[in-house]
């Protein structure tokens, strides 16, 4: 399974990596992700939805709280 995450800032990236490390998840980092045309269209559609106010945005902490993730 693959999950692509695009943090908006260096701080978000560091927080995500720290979270993965604390949970002892195995992961790989790739600086240049190659996306299929379908994935590219999906990202552009999500950007359009965001800019049109048709979707919600959550901080990393709100995301953790939503899924009731307890950090050690």
List pLDDT tens digits, range 17-71: 999 999 999 988 876 667 788 988 999 999 899 899 998 888 888 988 888 877 6
User: Is 1 among the domain residues?
Assistant: no
Q: State the residue for tokens 């950007």.
A: 47
**Residue 35 belongs to what domain range?**
10-66
User: Is 28 among the domain residues?
Assistant: yes
Q: How many domains does the chain have?
A: 1
The CA-based dihedral angle spanning residues 15, 21, 26, 32, taken in that order and rounded to the nearest 10 degrees: 30
Residue 6 has pLDDT above 70, yes or no: yes
With beta carbons less than 8 A apart as the criterion, state whether 16 and 7 touch. Answer: yes
Predicted confidence at residue 54, as pLDDT, reads 93
User: Is 24 among the domain residues?
Assistant: yes
Predicted confidence at residue 4, as pLDDT, reads 78
User: Is 42 among the domain residues?
Assistant: yes
């Amino acid at each position: 399974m693959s999950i692509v995450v695009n943090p908006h800032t260096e701080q978000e990236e560091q927080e995500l990596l720290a979270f993965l490390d604390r949970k002892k998840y195995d992961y790989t980092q790739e600086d240049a992700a190659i996306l299929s045309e379908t994935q590219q269209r999906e990202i552009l559609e999500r950007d359009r939805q965001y800019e049109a106010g048709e979707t919600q945005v959550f901080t990393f902490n709100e995301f953790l709280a939503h899924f009731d993730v307890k950090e050690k």
